[in-house]
Amino acid sequence: MDRNASLKLSTVLRYIVADLQQIRAMLRQARAKLRECARRAIRPSLFAAALLALLSTSLVLPEVASASPSHAHRTPTSSPSRHPNVCPGGPQLPPTPSIGTLAFLAEPSTNTVETLNMTTGALVGTAITVGTTPLGAAYWRPLPGSASDPEVIVPNSANHSVSIIDAVSRTVLATVNIPSGSSGEAVAASPSSPYALVVDVLSGKVSVINLTNNTDAGEISLAGSNVLSSVAFSSNGAYAYVTDPSQHKIFALQFVAGTAPYFSALTTWTNSNYNPTGIATDLTNSGSTNLYVTNSQVHSGSTSSLVAFSDASGALGTPTLIRNYTVATMGSLTVDPGEVNAYVAQPAQSKVDQIVIASGSATSITTSTTLASPGAIGLSADGLTLLGADTSAASLQEASTASLAATNTVTTNAAVAAIATALPPVGSWNAYVITSGTSTNVDVINTGTSSITNSFYDSHTPEAVVASPDGQYVYIANTNSVSVIATADVGVLSNPIVATITGIQGTQPSVPTLNGIAISPSGDALLVSDSTNGAVDVIDLNSADSAYRTVVQRLGLDGSGNHSTSQTTYGAMAFSPDGAYGYVTEYGFSSSTHDGVTVLAQASTTAAGYTYNNMDFGLSQNSNALNLPQTISVSPNGETAYVSGTNPTNSPYAGLFRCPLTPPGKW
């Protein structure tokens, strides 16, 4: 076999492997759909037909040579038809709400739990029958890699049991018996282990529920307790806290892996000036060490309060006062993701207060006449919707935490005693989105709840956005500057922009118009594309360099100094996995002669940053090849670049071009 034939065979085999990888990914998707269809009772024969259609879809991609402009390439295939509905046939069920939008409502007078879709304000499905007199509810989020669905843990106070509910199918998985005589009311589920704690308010004991096998793992006796009130886990799950207002105590329990009952009494905080009742932590942030407690005084005219403890070891110290109240009794307590606000029910005043944790200032959330005496409260996973239950009526009210106004009133089957709201899935993150058009706002979307959790103003007209590999910063390319966002300040400060990088133009002839941005895998260099000057600007992000957050190099396209008069950037950029190469899509001002990809080769890792290596031949640039290259992406192994663009001579013109990088990263 000659050299050319061998090279062709090697290329074909590489494409076959890539296609097999795509098939493998599609099979994983199909298996997920199969589980969905099984849950919805779709006939297997219908699914098999849909799966066959899915796998029969063409996987052919246009091909581009790695060097010679005259190299032949495969004609783009016509656009494949859309995949058929994987679950076809017959009347379709209403769409299943996202798990992150659900709230579970314990209703003791009917021995049921209802499910509420907080997005629509509508009850979902039929009520779930549990044990006798359910007075508590907690949402358990499975650990990463777990095959379990999220669960809702409901203690039934009148028949000494705990109901375990699958939050997805909304069915009872198991009923766990706890010792006779127990009156389980308060409950909390660990954020880091498969256990829940159920507090017997009268016996001074805590039952440990093993959620792996749905059994009672044992009880913990709290010495010196009388009437227990509430329970909450620390944000990292290492500790749990139980309040006893009658004895002025907070008990700290420590998680002990390996041996049942898996928790042990650790310390007891006592202060006769406090009657700790409600307790809350932020379970969305495992790094938080804060614990929020309501201090209710029993005598009229006494001062109640909301306080905070900081605890990383299970030993509570002196609390910090957030706000004093003149009311005798404070109701339910919760805090929002990020711990910006706390929410406290005030039953006697028929209101719920939003308290700014940093300042202690409070604003009452407007309530309708249907919420005469707020009891249980709950907060949606994104922190945007507050639920409040009326203690004396079959009524639940939704309110916006942004406008502090009632948005919806829900009629339930019975009065609600406890609310368990879903948590964002483990592994969810924030996405930063710039609204197209003339908007100067940056929206922050939580991927676990698919909702906007924050929005802030950028006065410099944002155009493109990228996050640092370590997640600490987000960089926004504006018209003529780069904004730096500290992600830790998002939701804490009204505007989390901590720096603005200017001086982009330098010696270039025109005021820049930035339209693209990319960051190296190491996070030490930032590339921004300038469409007006036909250039790529390099910004040093190594904090140890004297040139930190300044432009250290301006590179013209196609080897043309610090700017180009014939080509401009489309705004798409990518890096090789090792950061040795950067790629920038470009097209000519007046012709397609130089449409292609500029390749940048790293020359140093000092303040000099990247230097341009004249490798602008990655894509065929004759009239029968790629024109107007747009987006670009590099495979995780660095062996292939994918570029979208147009082919002026082959219908359907637009296509995805696959470009081998040999050796990995290099065109």
pLDDT of 58 higher than 60: no
CA dist 93 → 96, 124, 182 (Å): 8, 12, 41
The rounded distance, in Å, linking the Cα atoms of 467 and 44 is 43
Report pLDDT for 543.
83
* pLDDT tens sequence across 492-510: 677 889 999 999 988 889 9
The tens digit of pLDDT for each residue in 229-247 reads 999 999 999 999 999 998 9
508-519 pLDDT, tens per residue? 899 999 999 999
Q: Which residue, among 449, 455, 453, 491, has the nearest Cα to 119 in the 3D structure?
A: 449
The predicted-structure confidence for 586-634, as pLDDT tens digits, reads as follows 888 777 777 888 888 876 665 444 444 444 444 444 444 677 888 899 9
pLDDT for the residue 1: 44
Percent of the chain residues topping a pLDDT of 90:
38
Q: What is the pLDDT of residue 426?
A: 67
Section 445-451 average pLDDT: 68
- What's the farthest any 2 CA atoms get from each other in the chain? 97
Model confidence pLDDT, tens digit, residues 83-115: 233 333 333 344 456 677 899 999 999 999 999
**Confidence tier at 566 by pLDDT (50, 70, 90):** confident
Considering the chain, what is the average pLDDT of its residues? 78
pLDDT value, residue 71: 26
Distance from C-alpha of 400 to C-alpha of 21, rounded to nearest angstrom = 46
pLDDT-above-70 percentage for the chain? 76
pLDDT average, residue stretch 206-228: 90
460-476 average pLDDT score: 89
Each residue's pLDDT tens digit, 538-549: 898 888 888 889
The most confident of the ranges 93-107, 172-186, 450-464 is 172-186
Determine phi and psi for 110, rounding to 5 degrees: -110, 0
Residue 483, pLDDT score: 94
Of 299-313, 461-475, 612-626, the poorest mean pLDDT is in: 612-626
C-alpha–C-alpha distance, residues 329 and 347, integer Å: 8
28 pLDDT band, cuts 50/70/90, is very low
**In which order are the strands placed within the sheet that holds 430-434?**
430-434, 441-446, 451-457
**Cα–Cα distance for residue pair 229/331, rounded to 1 Å:** 12
The pLDDT of residue 219 is 93
Is 137 within 8 Å of 119 (Cβ atoms)? no
Lowest-confidence range among 43-57, 248-262, 418-432? 43-57
Question: Structure pTM?
Answer: 0.61
> d(Cα 528, Cα 526) in Å, to the nearest integer?
7
